[in-house]
Structure 1
Amino acid sequence: MNGALRVALQKSGLTTESLAERIGVDPKTTDRWLREGRIPHQAHRTAAAGALGCAVSDIWPDTKRRYRDLVWFRPWEALEREAHSLRSYQPLVLPGLLQTERYARALFSSAGQHTPDDVERLVAARMARQSVLAGNGPPWLTAVIDEGVLRRSVGGPEVMREQLESLAETEHLPHVRVHVVPSSAGAYAGLSGPFVIASSADNRTAGYLDTQLHGQVASEPADLVLLMAACENVRGAALSHGQSITLIREVAETWT
């Protein structure tokens, strides 16, 4: 980020002081943009880009990514990497760690909030995250999903069949267990929303809650008690791992 600004300054012949004078801010402010990689407010980005003879996207191309996809997600990503066990519940979509590339791409594309380049970047990031389940000493993942997830079309029949076949193949991974809450279960605690609980080898525990805006890491003891209770509830409402894999394979056959 600050590298692009430094190049733009050099090409324009301006300094941080002269740039500050042109756009009406304190020189310390523009100096922080360069030294610390801080992102200016939108009005200042526009004014600075104009003074430098550049497009805003030439200097600050990934502002949304920096704020949305990286900053707020970094704490959870670190917890996920260090986890000894992950307990996930999803009532609407497959967990990100178990999504195929085409399923993930369809999800990001359908949101209507991302450019094609953003979609590809988000898909690549999601696929890279899945490496946590590979290699030596991966976390134990227990993923509980609602049956509706298997029957909701994401990307069309071909994508869904591929996704469910991939999901069923997790039965060969000793550290992954998938459980499906059947539609016959009726109302249960999971309908209140998705969550993930990460526990480390030294018994540190944190939760993750997703929203329309961004995710939230939960670490307060009272919150974790509620999440653990919800986890027990949804796991109790779900089919066994073997029964779930059978159901997943059966539903996969219907996506033709």
Structure 2
Amino acid sequence: MEQTTADLIRSQLRRLRVAAGHTQEEFGKLVHYSASMVSAVETGTRPYDRQLLARADEVLTSGGLLASLLRIAEREGQPSWFLPWLDAERQARQLRVFQPTLVPALLQTEGYARAVIRCDDLLSDEEVEQRVAARLDRQTILDQPDPPQLIAVVDEAIVHRREERLRTPMAHQIEHLIACAERPNVSVHVVPLSVGLHVGLYGSFSLARGVDGGWVASQETQLTASPTDNEANLATLLARWETVRNEALSRQQSIALLNEMVKSWP
């Protein structure tokens, strides 16, 4: 598999630590992390975060190497604050995603992704295309030989956005959702409009379960998103996941509803 920027960041972190003569335990004390967390970050079973990398640059006197790698990754099409979650996503064995307003990024078509990203009028055409390419690249985890299990819950409202410029991308997107939902490692569940108000309307969130069985969560906002494995936050989001999943239709009912939506688009 081609080495990603996240792989490079982890390998450089380990190289710098070893070159400095620190064990994982010694290094952990210096950066205020446990030895087990340092090990998990280096092996990719836990995502790194900006605070760890900034502190590591200081402790290992690396001249800002790790921070520079983050900036390189940002220029490649992803904001640096999003990289830790991408790392968790790429290492995950199970993914659970709830989206009340947009099709989840891992299930977006190129046309829909471009339409969504173009909503940010602060982005240049080049930046839009970089982000579209980066989003499509994320989706390759679903095509690898041993892909993660993805369960996505979406609100029915996302398929009712019918402005003229979105007509063709949205029709193709719904067809793509149906195709994705029929894959063995992907489940798509729709919360019907008839449910009314529910706790998921507070906002989208994602959960990733790594090879070690631990969960990492992320809530994306307009400005930032960062993973957390804080027990209290995880407990809250796992409980909310169960709520929205229980409100949603079954897999086959969801596919049937999406098929009706396709027929309704002229």
Q: Does 2:253 match 1:236?
A: no
- Tell me the distance in 2 between the aligned counterparts of 1:180 and 1:215: 24
Q: Does 2:193 match 1:183?
A: yes
CA contact (8 A) 1:160 1:252 kept: no
Name the residue aligned to 2:210: 200
Compute the TM-score of the two structures, normalised by the length of structure 2: 0.71
How do 1:59-74 residues align onto structure 2 when only pairs under 5 Å count?
Answer: 65-66=74-75, 69-74=78-83
Specify the SS of the correspondent of 2:216.
strand
Q: Does 2:87 match 1:88?
A: no
Compute the TM-score of the two structures, normalised by the length of structure 1: 0.73
Name the residue aligned to 1:113: 122
Q: Deviations over 1:132-180 (max 9, x none)?
A: 1002110100000000011124742111110000111123310000000
Q: Which protein has the larger Cα radius of gyration, Structure 1 or Structure 2?
A: 1
Deviation for aligned residue 1:63: 8.7
Match of 1:104 among 95, 113, 132: 113
How do 1:20-169 residues align onto structure 2 when only pairs under 5 Å count?
Answer: 36=65, 65-66=74-75, 69-153=78-162, 155-169=165-179
- Tell me the distance in 2 between the aligned counterparts of 1:205 and 1:152: 33
Q: Deviations over 1:158-205 (max 9, x none)?
A: 111100001111233100000000000011110110000000132111
Deviation for aligned residue 1:100: 0.1
Q: Deviations over 1:18-58 (max 9, x none)?
A: xxxxxxxxxxxxxx9x985978xxxxxxxxxxxxxxxxxxx
Distance 1:38 1:218, change over 3 A: closer
Query: RMSD in angstroms over aligned alpha carbons?
Result: 2.4
Specify the SS of the correspondent of 1:180.
strand
Specify the SS of the correspondent of 2:117.
helix
Ranges in structure 2 where 5+ consecutive residues have no aligned partner: 1-60
Aligned length: 202
Deviation for aligned residue 1:111: 1.9
- Partner AA of 1:177 in structure 2: S
- Partner AA of 1:232 in structure 2: E
Ranges in structure 1 where 5+ consecutive residues have no aligned partner: 1-31, 40-61
Identity of aligned residues (%): 38
